[in-house]
Amino acid sequence: DSGVTQTPKHLITATGQRVTLRCSPRSGDLSVYWYQQSLDQGLQFLIQYYNGEERAKGNILERFSAQQFPDLHSELNLSSLELGDSALYFCASSMTSGRTGGIVLTFGAGSRLTVL
């Protein structure tokens, strides 16, 4: 157990729907990162939050949004879902903000989203 908790583990939904993925970081970690792993794109960085604020953004679609709450858990909202959004969504956490190098990310087990 990495200490990073992601729910749900599996989710099946239909095109056009909206889903929310939840992540609780490891105790003491202030940063949360979202990554997407798909067959087409591989592992891609989506977005990072540090202590409630957006810190860095990657290839995140406009249909996707995220936030980090005061208790440091984070949610990734995916809307107007398309077949191509089917993927494994990872959350990772770290103690620092990302301003110092050499950060080792601790990943959760992932949430597998299937869009039918």
Partner 1 sequence: AQKVTQAQTEISVVEKEDVTLDCVYETRDTTYYLFWYKQPPSGELVFLIRRNSFDEQNEISGRYSWNFQKSTSSFNFTITASQVVDSAVYFCALSEAADSWGKLQFGAGTQVVVTP
Strand partners, 51: none
Which position has the token pair 């869009």?
Answer: 115
Amino acid at 41: Q
Nearer to partner 1, 33 or 64 (CB): 33
What are the residues binding partner 1 (CB under 8 A)? 2, 31, 33, 35, 42-45, 48, 55-58, 88, 90, 92, 94, 97-110, 112
* DSSP code of residue 84: G
- Measured in degrees and rounded to the nearest 5, phi and psi for residue 84 equal -70, -10
Q: Could you tell me how far CA 66 lies from the centroid of its own chain? A: 8
Nearer to partner 1, 13 or 38 (CB): 38
Minimum separation from the CB atom of position 17 to partner 1 (A): 23
Nearer to partner 1, 61 or 79 (CB): 61
